[in-house]
Amino acid sequence: MRPRLDAPRVAFLLFLLAALFSLPVLRPSGRELDYAANLARFLSRFWPPDFSILPQILPSLWETFQIAVLSTIIASLVGIPLAAAASKTTAPKALVTSTRLLLNVIRAIPGLVWALITVAVLGANAGAGVAALAIYSLGYLGKFFSDAFESADPAVSAALRASGARRVQAFQYGIWPHARPLIWSHTLWMLEYNIRSAAIIGYVGAGGIGTWLHTYQEFYQWDKFAAVLACILVAVILLDLAGSKLRSALAPEA
């Protein structure tokens, strides 16, 4: 019997064709280069890291954490009602279409570009970083949250509506209990992502430890640059461990 060409097989074939058509982009530079030697020479400038700068950069690392936390909280709070407006189970079709279009536009603009825009409006400060990451995160959390709402069984909400419950009550008791663990999981993922993003937006003046990355890169102080990267790595690892423990604690609610 011939294998049926179902959706997963079609998706795999399309992905394979896309990969094959993308191979020409890997063309060499045209010059004879010793890639291994170039990489070794560049990495040698990073070692050993100069950790004498820790007292100087730790306040900026803390500011980076603050930027990530505030932007994630703002995006999650705004994202819940926006996601409800983008969910087919909670909003009319016209509102769903317009809200999803808005979220697509937000996601289409990179976070660094949002940082450039907010720095131009608010000035070069940490507030611009919070605004940039909050807007950028909203595009993703709005999408993730709406998917979580749509994954809930609509029959429960419909039964509540049929028994006389208002739309808000049907959402509160029919959809939210199922979506809540997913909301927490997506929010924690966004926080981890924003820690890394907040370390980059300092390149354009949006505060955080990225300002030091930009400074050390400008003056080719790669040993100090490596120390900053090591601090960011430690912060991300600690946050990932804390997030994993929190997800485990929330798992029984799923």
> At which residue do the structure tokens 């102080």 appear?
221
**pLDDT tens digits, 61-89:** 888 888 889 999 999 999 888 888 888 87
- The answer to whether residue 85 is domain-embedded is yes
- The answer to whether residue 56 is domain-embedded is no
**Residue 8: pLDDT band with limits 50, 70, 90:** confident
**pLDDT tens digits, 172-220:** 666 777 777 788 888 888 888 888 888 788 777 777 788 888 888 778 8
Percentage of the chain beyond pLDDT 90 is 7
Q: What is the pLDDT of residue 200?
A: 81
Q: Which amino acid is at 91?
A: A
Answer whether residue 232 shows pLDDT above 50.
Answer: yes
Q: Which residues 6+ apart lie within 8 Å of 211 measured at CB? A: 60, 202, 203, 205
Q: Which amino acid is at 78?
A: V
Q: What share of the chain is helix, strand, coil (3-state, %, to 5)?
A: 80, 0, 20
Could you give the number of structural domains in the chain?
1
- Cβ(218)–Cβ(48) under 8 Å? no
Phi first, then psi: give them for residue 33, nearest 5 degrees: -125, 145
Owning domain of residue 123: 72-253
Considering the chain, what is the average pLDDT of its residues? 80
The separation between CA 113 and the C-alpha centre of its own chain, rounded to angstroms, equals 14
- The answer to whether residue 156 is domain-embedded is yes
- The answer to whether residue 186 is domain-embedded is yes
Answer whether residue 102 shows pLDDT above 50.
Answer: yes
Answer whether residue 33 shows pLDDT above 70.
Answer: no
- Cβ(191)–Cβ(242) under 8 Å? no
**Can you point out the beta strands (E) in 57-203?**
none
Answer whether residue 23 shows pLDDT above 70.
Answer: yes
Q: What is the pLDDT of residue 235?
A: 81
pTM: 0.76
- The answer to whether residue 119 is domain-embedded is yes
- The answer to whether residue 144 is domain-embedded is yes
Q: What is the pLDDT of residue 28?
A: 67
**pLDDT tens digits, 138-165:** 998 988 888 888 776 666 666 666 666 6
- The answer to whether residue 12 is domain-embedded is no
- Here the CATH number for the domain that contains residue 141 is 1.10.3720.10
- The answer to whether residue 61 is domain-embedded is no
Q: What is the pLDDT of residue 158?
A: 63
